[in-house]
Amino acid sequence: MKDSKFASLTDEELLAEKAKAKSAAITNAVLCGFIIGIAIYSTYKNGLGLFTFLPLFFVYMMFNSNKKNTGLKDELAARNIKE
């Protein structure tokens, strides 16, 4: 199902999707660092509580959102696109 979305794209469109995925990964990494910092600060100030685990749940959701890029990576490898 994931492969059919990327199989219909041209090589240039695949490279554009790869660039979007890379910038999204960088943004997610920055947000994850910020959210983890909030969780650590909250734990330091208030001890364990809701504001410790709620931000960590969002980090988990961000990591799971990156799994959709596996279809893109597979299609790039199948077409032997290195750029």
Measured distance CA(10)–CA(34) in Å, rounded: 36
| pLDDT for position 4 | 63
* The CA-based dihedral angle spanning residues 5, 10, 16, 17, taken in that order and rounded to the nearest 10 degrees: 10
Question: Helices 50-65 and 11-46, interaxial angle, to 10°?
Answer: 170
| pLDDT for position 67 | 74
Summarised one tens digit per residue, pLDDT across range 10-64 is: 888 888 888 888 888 898 889 889 988 888 888 898 888 877 788 888 888 887 7
Q: What contacts 24+ positions apart, CB below 8 Å, involve 29-38?
A: 31/62, 32/59, 32/62, 32/63, 35/59
Is the per-residue pLDDT at 68 higher than 80? no
How many Cα atoms within 13 Å fall on the side-chain side of residue 83?
Answer: 8
Domain ranges of the chain: 7-78
| pLDDT for position 1 | 43
pTM greater than the 0.95 cutoff: no
